Structure 1
Amino acid sequence: MATLLHIDSSVFPGEASSSRSVAAAFREAWEEQHPEGTVVYRDLATDPVPHITADAWSAGNAAPSARTPEQSAAFAARVELVEELERADAVLIGAPMYNYSIPSTLKAWLDNVILLGRTTGETPSAQGKPVVVVASRGGSYAPGTPREGYEFVQNYLEAVLEGSLGLDLEFIVPELTMAPRNPAMSELVPLYEASRERAFGDATAKAKELAERLAA
């Protein structure tokens, strides 16, 4: 049975969040393909993981017998997150853009699962695992747009998820999500609606495509 690790990080609940809504469409299509599968869900906004500490970081470089009780406890929390990643057959991440970057809660999760000598290094333990990221944003940061140089979500996640963890990364990018709420962006509403429709279509298509790949 296939296991999907689903991570949301938007501070907005339900349909108020574009990343959550599109990720939910992906998950629904995934569950239709894997009715007997498992979804491991983490909502980092309502139940954030600990930010990395000196004990959690240094424990990764210390022999188990040499760790202090504080290091052992902090490292055990990291290992729980690492094992969720390693056990999953696929990963789904909702990553809205906040102030040109990812939410701090998602950065905290990444800091915990990036473990040199295990998930990153010469032979990353989750290497090749497919990950789909819903990278929503209020404006447009696509190539050729005025704010192209402020795009630090996809660039960063490519470096970390693909470069460090060795995952097989794909993006779904709903953009211009502020257009319906910001009068100054009213003329962009049709582009927002087209982007939203495309994102939902991509979510369903990618979920089905991934299910076929894993079943092959």
Structure 2
Amino acid sequence: MAVLRIDASILGPNSASSALADLVEQSLTSAKPGTAFVRRHLGQNPIAADVWATAIGAGYTPADQRSDAQNAAVALAGELADELRNADAAILALPFYNYGVSQHVKTWFDVAMAGGENGEKFLEGKPVVVLTTRGGAYGAGTPREGWDHNTDYLRRVVGDIWGADLTVIEREFTLVGVNPALDQFTETANLMHKTAQEAAADAGRAIADKI
């Protein structure tokens, strides 16, 4: 039994999304000691941006005529796909950057899908927690309502295409306390943080009950 954990923050120990993922993991392992994890950190070890195109190009090239780069890309695509197929559950810490899905997360999605069949449901029925964090606020009534081009995409791919039993945990205003212009939102940000932490702990226990 193994849980796939994917992190994608570029902020290292200051990552809000990884901190929430840690809470999911801690809650899960407290409820189910000895759980094994397969880990991949896309922020620390990103997949090269050209791997996806190279893997796709290999599909149009006879196997005995493929370049070393094509063979390596196909192998990595298969590895990523197998990590998803073989997982019993997943914890995906995928923060919002520049109003959408970051380049390195999008590359992971694309390369993994290149390693499977078209529309393959890698996570069919498996419990998956997606944790996504945003520095500002993008909800209804805010000046940037509609600018979040990240969260719906994550729901579509992980839930609808990959078939996961999906829980999405969101935390906004992570830049409160960092950007003085947001100091007026301190109380709201603290409440959002606490709510996300509680949801993360609950999600870990829920995964433990399902695997």
Considering the TM-score relative to the shorter chain, is it more than 0.5? yes
Partner of 2:100 in structure 1?
A: 101
Q: 1:101–1:153: 8 Å Cα contact kept in structure 2?
A: yes
Partner of 2:127 in structure 1?
A: 130
Q: 2:130–2:167: 8 Å Cα contact kept in structure 1?
A: yes
d(CA) in 1 for partners of 2:93, 2:121: 23
Amino acid at match of 1:77: L
How many equivalent pairs are there?
A: 210
Partner of 1:77 in structure 2?
A: 76
Q: 1:117–1:124: 8 Å Cα contact kept in structure 2?
A: no
Shift of 1:207: 0.8
Q: What TM-score does the superposition give when structure 2 sets the normalisation length?
A: 0.90
Q: 1:114–1:165: 8 Å Cα contact kept in structure 2?
A: no
Partner of 2:19 in structure 1?
A: 21
Show structure 1 runs of 4+ deviating over 3 A.
60-70
d(CA) in 1 for partners of 2:71, 2:201: 41
Change (3 A) 1:84 1:34: same
Map Cα deviations across residues 106-160 of structure 1 (whole Å, 9 max, x no partner).
1111111113852x42x52432222211110011112333322101111111222
Map Cα deviations across residues 20-68 of structure 1 (whole Å, 9 max, x no partner).
1111111111122222221111111111123234321123456655644
Residue 110 (str. 1) matches residue 128 (str. 2): no
Change (3 A) 1:92 1:177: same
**Percent identity between the two aligned chains:** 32
Map Cα deviations across residues 185-205 of structure 1 (whole Å, 9 max, x no partner).
111011111111111110010
Shift of 1:168: 2.4
Aligned match for 1:152, one of 137, 146, 149: 149
In structure 1, the gaps of 5 or more residues are none
**Using CA pairs below 8 Å that are at least 6 residues apart, which structure has the higher relative contact order?**
2
- RMSD of Structure 2 on Structure 1 (CA): 2.0
d(CA) in 1 for partners of 2:88, 2:133: 24
Shift of 1:212: 0.8
Partner of 2:45 in structure 1?
A: 47
Aligned match for 2:186, one of 172, 186, 189: 189
